[in-house]
Each structure stands twice: as C-alpha cells, then as structure tokens.
Copies of this chain bind each other. A is one copy, B any other.
Amino acid sequence: MQVHDFESGAALARLRVDGQRLWNSLMQLAQIGATEKGGVCRLALTELDRIARDWFVAWAKEIGCTVRVDAIGNIFARRAGLRDDLPPVMTGSHIDTQPTGGKFDGNYGVLAGLEVLRTLADANITTLAPLEVAVWTNEEGSRFVPVMMGSGVFAGAFTLDHALDQRDRDGVSVRDALAAIGYIGENIKPHTVAAYFEAHIEQGPVLEAHDKTIGIVQGALGQRWYDVTVHGMEAHAGPTPMELRRDALLVAADVIHAVNRIALDHAPHGRGTVGWLDVHPNSRNVIPGRVKLTVDLRAADDATLTAMDSALRALCEAAGKQAGIEVAIEPVVYFPPQPFASDLVAAVKQGADMLGLSSMDVISGAGHDAVYLARVAPAAMIFVPCKDGISHNEIEDARAEHLEAGCNVLLQAMLKAAQTVRPIAVAEDESV
C-alpha cells in the first residue's frame, strides 16, 4: 500500500473520481423502487430501503470498508486511516426518497461518498484520518416524522427513544420497522466526527440561473413556520353589500402579500411562502367565513428571522384590525439558522478553484442531514445544479458532468480535511 506524502499535495491534486462509475451506481440504485415516470419511490425502512441499504453495504465491503449500524439504523462505512485512532472525516446523505421522488436527492451524496472511497482504493491511497460514508435513516420524513431522523438522533436534536417510538399511518413503529429490515444496530452513543461534508443536488434554481457548476454552501437558512387562521363572517355574496362584509379571504390576501413583502424587505436571503390555504365554506357565491393558511419564513441569521417574525405579527394584526376580523397566528416549527464551518467551506471553495470549476457562494434554503451534523462537528455542503431547480419530483434530473464535478470537489475537500485531523482531546476523554 502506498503511503501518501502529505507534505506534498501534487499527487492528490491530480486524483479524479470515475464519473461514469458514479453515474452507473446512481442508475443502479434508482432501479430499486423505480417509478414509471422515471423517479423513485423508496420510503424509509421499507423492504425497498433494505435492498438499497444491502447494496450500499456490499459495495462498501467490496473496497475493504468496515460497516457499522447504530441504534437508529444509520450506516457508517469506514475506510481505515494511517492513524485509525483519529476521529473520521465523514461524508454522507440518505437513500430514502419521497413517494414521488427522484434519482438524485440524497442518493447522490451517499454514492459520491462511495465513489471517493472507491477512487482512493483504486489509487491505493490511505489517508491520515479514517474516512466514513454515512447513510442517514429517514431523511425525507415521508413515512415517519420527524424528518432528518437519523442525523437528528446522531446530533442530539431529539432522543433515540422519541425517534424509535414514532409510527407510520399504519401504526408501525420505527423500532419495529428497523428490526423488520435488520438495520437496528447496537451503537447508541454517537462517535466523534472530525469533519462532515455532504454533496447534494441544489433542489433550487440558483446555480442554473447563474450558470455555475459548484455551489459553495455557506450554511442553512433558519426557518419559522406558522399556522394562521382568519376568522371572518360567512355570508351570501349576493345580498351582502361590500361595506357590511367581513371577508376572511380578503384579509388572507393581505397576509399573503405581507409574507411576500416581509421576505423582500429582508433580501437577499429572506424567504416567505404561503404554500397551503383552506377556505371555508369554499362555495362560489358565499363570502368566505374562515381561511386557514400556513406561513414559512426563512432567513440566514436569527436577528433577521426575529425581525421577520415581528413584522409578520404586526402586519397580520394590522390587516385584521382594519377589517374588524381576528387573525390568529400560531408558531409551529423553529429551525435556527446554521452557518457551516468556515475552514471546511474554504476547503470546498479551494477544491472547486483547483479543479477549474465555476462556483458561487450559496445558502441552503432547505434542511439537510448536514444541518444537524453541524451541531456536533465542523460541517459543509457542496451543491451541484439540478434541472430547472426541480426536486421531490419524479422528473428531478441532473447532468452527469455536474455530478462528477461535485464528487471531485468532495474528494479534494475530504483529502484536505483528512490530512489535517488532529486527535481531539474531548474525543479521547469521552472514549475513556
């Protein structure tokens, strides 16, 4: 086995992944749960998930990895380092999908990690620190909530028991579903991670709009979700003059505009969406008596998110007061903004530059396993474009050259991180 000279990076800098092998693996995995429209339906902890997990485990073992499974079913494929006592440099993502999901969401991050390990195996290179590829359980949350379940347990966002007790619509618990597919491991305590990278399709239109290959992800937006109820007065559209109405939908339209204005007022990263709306009684010639709607506010920092929250409350109150109507706001979810580790973000940028790839700084608007991992380890993400920004859809698509480029950046960033890992005092203490 060749022991790389970590003082000179020239040989490593020339190393490239096999883009065709990566693509082939993506297409192979996409056959498990393939849909007629070209997508994938592979819900978490189903028999299809088991088959896909088994394939991943077999592929990892083929290149000499050891494989462990923790108590929430997360899989860790480990490639030993020269200093195998060091905490690992990790990458990963998920292989569960939405019911009408695509081939790339999550699967790309897992198989890009596998391709990095395969490339190193082919080149007979051993890194200083060990490398690991994680397959996180139930990221999508389509069958079981909460979403990002495996990484959430790993990062301590919620307890293992809380996750194991969740049930799907048929009443099957996570605990029983994990046991049924044989992926309930014994490791309860998360291990220390030196650095975590995650490659992912962007799931948005920014890279494509700017014609860039690599998104250098600076962090993830914080999110505040709300349920809003507008209480008007149901009445006949015909006999009720305008001045005697208490039209709940008219006030809901004010709220929709307010949410949009709040986001625009907090550019560039402020986002505001009313995605769900329900009108009662929803009849053509009846003035709506009650409208329920959801609000989703996102921002890159907590001060902005708090300002947006205040603006929403003030605008809803003003709209209701003007119309003589009650507008009730109930917060339902809060995810804090999560900046990524600056040295890891820089490593991603250096990798892209070194490879001559066009790139731009972006921020993740959606949640990812990396966002939970960032709570317990230095973390960063690499985005590649997806066609028309479409994801969570069977027509989700991405270009092989972009996927290969992102995988090469992942390789370089992991190599850089792996050669600078130092023993972590806290980690050593914890292992005693």
**How many copies of the shown chain assemble into the complex?**
2
Q: How far is B237's CA from A77's CA once the two chains are assembled, in angstroms?
A: 33
Whether, in the assembled complex, A324 has its beta carbon less than 8 Å from a beta carbon of chain B, the answer is no
Residues of B within 8 A of A415 (CB): none
Q: B282 touching A277 by the CB < 8 A rule?
A: yes
Q: How far is B275's CA from A247's CA once the two chains are assembled, in angstroms?
A: 9
Q: Mark A230-271, 1 if CB is under 8 A from B, else 0.
A: 000011111111101001011011101100100110011011
Q: A240 touching B275 by the CB < 8 A rule?
A: no
Q: A250 touching B239 by the CB < 8 A rule?
A: no
Whether, in the assembled complex, A357 has its beta carbon less than 8 Å from a beta carbon of chain B, the answer is no
Q: How far is B294's CA from A234's CA once the two chains are assembled, in angstroms?
A: 16
Whether, in the assembled complex, A202 has its beta carbon less than 8 Å from a beta carbon of chain B, the answer is yes
Which residue, A202, A390, A392, has most C-beta atoms of chain B within 10 A? A392
Q: A296 touching B364 by the CB < 8 A rule?
A: no
Residues of B within 8 A of A350 (CB): none
Closest to A241 in B: B206
Q: A242 touching B264 by the CB < 8 A rule?
A: yes
Residues of B within 8 A of A366 (CB): 236, 238-239
Residues of B within 8 A of A431 (CB): none
Binds B, one of A161-169, A285-293, A418-426: A285-293
Closest to A255 in B: B253
Q: How far is B221's CA from A272's CA once the two chains are assembled, in angstroms?
A: 40
Whether, in the assembled complex, A284 has its beta carbon less than 8 Å from a beta carbon of chain B, the answer is yes
Q: B204 touching A235 by the CB < 8 A rule?
A: yes
Closest to A268 in B: B241
Whether, in the assembled complex, A156 has its beta carbon less than 8 Å from a beta carbon of chain B, the answer is no
Q: B202 touching A221 by the CB < 8 A rule?
A: no
Q: A282 touching B276 by the CB < 8 A rule?
A: yes
Q: B235 touching A390 by the CB < 8 A rule?
A: yes
Whether, in the assembled complex, A190 has its beta carbon less than 8 Å from a beta carbon of chain B, the answer is no
Q: How far is B285's CA from A223's CA once the two chains are assembled, in angstroms?
A: 11
Q: A242 touching B256 by the CB < 8 A rule?
A: no
Q: Mark A196-230, 1 if CB is under 8 A from B, else 0.
A: 00000011111001000000000001010100000
Q: How far is B102's CA from A236's CA once the two chains are assembled, in angstroms?
A: 14
Interface residues of A in 377-393 (CB under 8 A from B): 389-393
Q: A239 touching B274 by the CB < 8 A rule?
A: no
Whether, in the assembled complex, A298 has its beta carbon less than 8 Å from a beta carbon of chain B, the answer is yes
Q: Mark A343-379, 1 if CB is under 8 A from B, else 0.
A: 0000000000000000000001111000000000000
Instruction: Taking A253-B254, A275-B285, A275-B288 as given, write out 12 further A-B residue pairs in contact, using a Cβ cutoff of 8 Å, ordered by the A residue number.
Output: A204-B236, A206-B244, A237-B296, A238-B364, A239-B389, A249-B256, A249-B275, A249-B277, A250-B260, A275-B283, A284-B296, A286-B392
